[in-house]
């Protein structure tokens, strides 16, 4: 639990909360026990609970894990007159950076905390939304990087395509509820805890979320095209391999037939006749090779004529 004060206004930030910290908050603020319980949960749908003296909000933002895949991280906020409490499970770097600015700089602390709880809430949400927009733009860059790989028929980009599709899905699950929740907060709740009109500020945040959604929608359409293209190239490669193997098997049929005929364990009429050994002791072998080769060459020429080869 970290706390910073400015002219009677207090901001409390809790990363990875524990039950002991929730008990301390309950002793200090009139928060409902169910809301405090929600703060301990890692998976909650976005919601807004309104009370006479404060508002409780749960929203989700992305955080990057070690494998560089975005994960949904819950942010719980208590907004009241003279205080703001932020509680988050994951490492939301923008919040840590803003808190550090307020700690180290009197000017930054006065600008961010000297107006109202609503303004500080907007500053935090704006920073988190910008981070979300940067993640969406990185996805666009990743798509551009694999474009040449996708249209190279000798390469397989299925793994990278699946990775990007997963990123897009995670961010869309975050951005769509976020737009709805922030739109409701900005029109119904922020005015209670801000002396100035913050509608324009939150409209700017909503514009950024719209850009995120547009970027993700375009990326999803593009990656679906690349997925289909990679699938077609993979199917074509498989068909070529099967065609080559089929031709090889077909051309080997004369050899199989000749060798099977002469490899029988019973006598075949005229084969033992000395008059048929006109090429010496290897006459049978030579006849097999010539007959098999002639059959294979004839079939190859016919396949070429009908444009199979």
Res 289: pLDDT: 76
Q: Residue 150's pLDDT band (boundaries 50, 70, 90)? A: confident
Per-residue pLDDT, averaged over 255-276, amounts to 58
Q: pTM for the full model?
A: 0.76
Under CATH, what is the fold of the domain 2-237?
Beta Polymerase; domain 2 (3.30.460)
Res 126: pLDDT: 92
Residue 242, pLDDT > 70, answer yes
For the chain, what is the HEC assignment?
A: CEEEEECCEEEEEEECCCHHHHHHHHHHCCCCHHHHHHHHCCCCCCEEEECCCEEEEEEEEEEECCCCCEEEEEEEEEEECCEEEEEECCCCHHHHHHHHHHHHCHHHHHHHHCCCHHHHHHHHHHHHHHHHHHHHHHHHHHHHHCHHHHCCCCCCCHHHHHHHHHHHHHHHHHHHHHHHHHHHHHHHCHHHHCCCCCHHHHHHHHHHHHHHHHHHHHHHHHHHHHHHHHHHHHHHHHHHHHHHHHHHHHHCHHHHHHHHHHCCCCCCCCCCCHHHCCCHHHHHHHHHHHHHHHHHHHHHHHHHHCCCC
- 77-136 pLDDT, tens digit per residue, is 999 888 999 999 877 888 989 989 888 888 888 888 877 888 889 999 999 999 999 999
Residue 245, pLDDT > 80, answer no
Q: Which of 34-38, 162-166, 219-223, 288-292 has the lowest mean pLDDT?
A: 288-292
Res 262: pLDDT: 64
Res 43: pLDDT: 76
Domain locations in the chain as residue ranges = 2-237, 255-305
């Amino acid at each position: 639990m970290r706390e910073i004060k400015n002219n009677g206004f207090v901001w409390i930030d809790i990363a990875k909360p524990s039950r002991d910290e929730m008990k301390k908050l309950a002793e200090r603020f009139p928060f409902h026990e169910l809301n405090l319980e929600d703060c301990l949960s890692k998976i909650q749908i976005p919601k807004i609970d309104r009370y006479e003296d404060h508002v409780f909000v749960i929203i989700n933002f992305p955080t990057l894990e070690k494998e560089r895949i975005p994960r949904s991280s819950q942010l719980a906020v208590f907004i009241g007159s003279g205080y703001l409490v932020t509680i988050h499970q994951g490492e939301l770097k923008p919040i840590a950076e803003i808190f550090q600015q307020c700690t180290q700089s009197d000017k930054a602390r006065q600008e961010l905390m000297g107006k109202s709880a609503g303004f500080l809430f907007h500053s935090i949400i704006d920073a988190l939304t910008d981070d979300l927009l940067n993640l969406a733009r990185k996805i666009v860059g990743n798509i551009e990087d694999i474009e040449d790989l996708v249209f190279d028929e000798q390469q397989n980009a299925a793994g990278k395509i699946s990775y990007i599709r997963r990123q897009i899905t995670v961010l869309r699950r975050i951005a769509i509820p976020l737009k709805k929740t922030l739109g409701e907060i900005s029109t119904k709740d922020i005015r209670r805890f801000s002396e100035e009109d913050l509608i324009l500020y939150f409209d700017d945040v909503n514009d950024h979320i719209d850009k995120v959604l547009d970027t993700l929608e375009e990326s999803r359409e593009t990656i679906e095209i690349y997925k289909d293209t990679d699938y077609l190239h993979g199917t074509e490669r498989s068909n070529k391999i099967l065609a080559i193997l089929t031709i090889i098997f077909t051309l080997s049929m004369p050899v199989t037939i000749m060798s099977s005929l002469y490899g029988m364990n019973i006598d075949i009429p005229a084969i033992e006749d000395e008059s048929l050994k006109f090429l010496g002791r290897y006459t049978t072998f030579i006849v097999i090779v010539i007959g098999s080769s002639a059959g294979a060459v004839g079939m190859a020429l016919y396949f070429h004529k009908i444009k199979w080869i």
